[in-house]
């Protein structure tokens, strides 16, 4: 089992793009001590001996892991622990981890896909549970959430209920190769983004809202479709996701 510490702030992006090395993060790229590698801790059999909770096991592994993600907005309360079961790896055969001289500290070149996440531990569920649930549901596949004592906080049945209640089965285009080519034009966050299509580069204006106001974007899209059904001239619009944020693109 591999474990990786992060922050709830970064979790939606990890789900969207995978757990990537800092040097591969585009405009937000950072330099790591181990260039182009992602840090993990590996759980060994002796870490499990006599342990009663996940927190006890993790405290025995590479201790620097406990600091990962703690410098984000919520600090230690916002920390999450990602679990990767690597006993039967299904991703890119041939890419293996490298052990460092620090016991339990492992490195993986480039990164690891989000589909390899087996589960997630929340350091402080009262601060992060709802945000973690939303990120998982919006990403499109179920992941179990646990507290540090090993109690299951988010079931597959609850995941299915949320998807059905909020119509989250509707596909959203993910523009992970777009380029911002213009600034916002109104009071809301936004800008012009250019994407590459089979017709060449196409520019769209994208309006963003705060995460708790995403319903507003769907209401605006619905209004566009109603006007269109009544024969009124309206732009061709759609809901998209750019760097983990929902936008109304036209």
**CATH number for the domain including 186?**
3.30.200
Output the CA–CA distances (angstroms, integers) from residue 168 to 161, 222, 248, in the order listed.
10, 15, 16
Q: Are residues 191 and 158 part of one domain?
A: no
- Give the global pTM: 0.76
Hey, what are 82's tokens? 């990602």
**Signed CA dihedral, 112, 114, 118, 122: sign only:** positive
Q: Which of 18-32, 71-85, 95-109, 168-182 has the lowest mean pLDDT?
A: 95-109
Q: What is the b/e burial string over 69-103, where b = at least 16 CB atoms within 10 angstroms of the residue's CB?
A: bbebebeebbbbbbbbebeeeeeeeeeebeeeeee
Q: Are residues 179 and 145 part of one domain?
A: no
CA distance 168 to 142: 13
Report the pLDDT value the prediction gives residue 2, as an integer from 0 to 100: 86
* CA nearest neighbour of 23 among 38, 3, 13: 38
Q: Are residues 91 and 141 part of one domain?
A: yes
Q: Which of 91-100, 114-123, 137-146 has the lowest mean pLDDT?
A: 91-100
Q: How many independent structural domains does the chain possess?
A: 2
Q: Are residues 177 and 161 part of one domain?
A: no
What does the pLDDT look like over 5-34, one tens digit per residue? 888 988 888 898 888 887 777 666 677 777
* CA nearest neighbour of 153 among 175, 130, 171: 130
Give me the mean pLDDT over the 145-164 stretch: 95
What does the pLDDT look like over 102-135, one tens digit per residue? 567 788 888 888 989 999 999 999 999 999 998 9
Residue span of the structural domain in which 56 resides: 2-165
Q: Are residues 196 and 135 part of one domain?
A: no
Q: Are residues 225 and 124 part of one domain?
A: no
* CA nearest neighbour of 247 among 196, 191, 203: 191
244 phi/psi in degrees, rounded to 5: 85, 0
* CA nearest neighbour of 145 among 81, 224, 58: 81
* Mean predicted lDDT score pLDDT of the chain: 84
Report the pLDDT value the prediction gives residue 144, as an integer from 0 to 100: 97
**Crossing angle, helix 125-139 and helix 156-165, to 10 degrees?**
60
**CATH number for the domain including 72?**
3.20.170.30
Give me the mean pLDDT over the 164-172 stretch: 80
């Amino acid at each position: 089992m591999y474990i990786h510490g992060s922050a709830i702030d970064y979790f939606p992006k990890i789900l969207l793009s995978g757990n990537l090395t800092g040097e591969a993060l585009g405009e937000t790229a950072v330099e790591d001590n181990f260039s182009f590698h992602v840090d993990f801790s590996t759980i060994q059999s002796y870490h499990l001996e006599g342990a009663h909770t996940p927190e006890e096991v993790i405290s025995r592994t590479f201790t620097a892991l406990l600091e990962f993600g703690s410098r984000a907005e919520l600090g230690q309360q916002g920390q999450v622990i990602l679990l990767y079961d690597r006993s039967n790896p299904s991703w890119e055969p041939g890419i293996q981890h490298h052990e460092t001289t620090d016991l339990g500290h492992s490195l993986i070149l480039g990164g690891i896909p989000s589909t390899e996440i087996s589960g997630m531990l929340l350091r402080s569920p009262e601060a992060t549970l709802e945000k973690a649930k939303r990120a998982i549901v919006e990403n499109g596949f179920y992941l179990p959430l646990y507290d540090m004592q090993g109690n299951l906080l988010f079931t597959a049945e609850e995941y299915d209920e949320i998807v059905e209640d909020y119509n989250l089965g509707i596909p959203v285009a993910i523009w992970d190769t777009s380029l911002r080519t213009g600034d916002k034009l109104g009071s809301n966050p936004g800008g012009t983004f250019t994407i590459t299509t089979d017709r060449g580069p196409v520019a769209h204006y994208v309006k963003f809202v705060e995460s708790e106001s995403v319903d507003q974007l769907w209401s605006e899209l619905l209004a566009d479709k109603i006007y269109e059904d009544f024969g009124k001239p309206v732009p061709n619009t759609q809901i998209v996701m750019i760097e983990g944020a929902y936008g109304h693109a036209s």
